[in-house]
């Protein structure tokens, strides 16, 4: 009996520790408009969620510490270190769709993001040589990310088991300070050229950088799912 009470106490303590933050209101699984309900929950509480939930040990997504991002192309070596991404807080949800019977869901959102890092570049963009190191800033407008994921319930918690992503953007603006060791004329020409050809450059940078952002989003959501029982997320 004592053991029983101790377990009860423990479960209660865990349930409290894993309480859903107040800015989220759980939807009911019997809601005939469940997707719309979840869309409203994400739109209303998403910006707060993105700041992280310290009491649950859920890391922030804005600012997002992305660490090292490496572009390793035979013609272009580019490394970003201490990469920090901001702007996800202002994301706009385009749609959320869940197929509970098949354990699948899709989230589609758009955000203006800025990536800041220390860069080191050496190689060629098209035919133009590019070389330098220093602070870099990349502004991406209307970065649209679609994540289709599979989820499972393990020990009463949802877990994202697999996902596929797609992304596109309106535009990217680069600022690489100190190109060519500060040779202004060469740096200005190269800067202009990289910004005119932003799509070609983003084709190289986007896979490691944006995939990193998406992976972080999935990791954070999984961490959140691990902290809050599924029955509190969907009544
Ligand atoms: C991104 O910025 C542009 C221009 O400032 C604005 O029109 C657009 O609505 C913004 N997008 C998002 C998702 O906030």
Q: Locate the domains of the chain by residue range.
A: 59-233
Ligand 1 centroid – CA 112 distance (Å):
6
Helix axes 184-196, 198-227, angle to 10 degrees: 70
CATH among 3.10.310.10, 3.40.605.10, 3.40.50.1980, 3.15.10.30 for 59-233:
3.15.10.30
Task: Say what the pLDDT of residue 18 is.
Answer: 61
**What does the pLDDT profile of the chain (235 residues) look like in tens digits?**
555 555 555 554 444 456 888 889 999 999 999 999 999 999 999 999 999 999 999 999 999 999 999 998 889 999 999 999 999 999 999 999 999 889 999 999 999 999 999 999 999 988 889 999 999 999 999 999 999 999 999 999 999 999 999 999 999 999 999 999 989 999 999 999 999 999 999 999 999 999 999 999 999 999 999 999 999 999 9
Residues within 6 Å of ligand 1 by CB: 90, 92, 110-112, 141-142
Q: Which atom of ligand 1 is nearest to the CA of 110?
A: 13
Residue of the nearest CA to atom 3 in ligand 1?
Answer: 141
CA 91 – ligand 1 centroid, Å: 9
Residue 61 carries which DSSP code? S
Residue with tokens 């992976």: 215
How far is C-alpha 190 from the chain's CA centre? 30
Distance 197 CA to ligand 1 centre (A): 22
Q: What is the per-residue burial (b if ≥16 Cβ within 10 Å, else e) of 43-79?
A: eebbeebbebbeebebebbbbbebeebebeeeebebb
CA of 201 to the centre of ligand 1 (A): 22
The predicted-structure confidence for 132-163, as pLDDT tens digits, reads as follows 999 999 999 999 999 999 999 999 999 999 99
- Count of beta carbons in the 10 Å neighbourhood of residue 91: 22
């Amino acid at each position: 009996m004592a053991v029983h009470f101790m377990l009860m106490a423990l479960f209660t303590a865990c349930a409290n520790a894993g309480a859903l933050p107040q800015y989220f209101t759980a939807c009911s699984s019997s809601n005939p408009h469940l997707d719309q309900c979840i869309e409203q929950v994400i739109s209303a509480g998403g910006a707060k969620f993105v700041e992280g939930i310290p009491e649950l040990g859920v890391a922030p997504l804005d600012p997002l510490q992305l660490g090292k991002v490496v572009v390793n192309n035979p013609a272009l070596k580019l490394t970003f270190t201490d990469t920090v991404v901001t702007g996800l807080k202002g994301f706009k949800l385009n749609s959320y769709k869940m197929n509970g019977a098949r354990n699948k869901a899709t989230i589609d959102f758009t955000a203006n993001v800025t990536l800041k890092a220390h860069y080191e570049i050496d190689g060629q963009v098209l035919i133009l040589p590019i070389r330098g190191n220093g602070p870099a800033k990349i502004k991406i407008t209307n970065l649209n990310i679609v994540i289709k994921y599979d989820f499972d319930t393990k020990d009463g918690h949802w877990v994202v088991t697999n996902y596929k992503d797609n992304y596109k953007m309106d535009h990217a603006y680069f600022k690489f300070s100190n190109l060519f060791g500060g040779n202004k004329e060469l740096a200005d020409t190269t800067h202009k050229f990289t910004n005119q050809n932003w799509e070609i450059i983003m084709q190289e940078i986007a896979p490691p950088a944006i995939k990193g952002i998406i992976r972080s989003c999935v990791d954070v959501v999984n961490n959140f799912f691990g902290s809050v029982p599924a029955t509190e997320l969907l009544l």
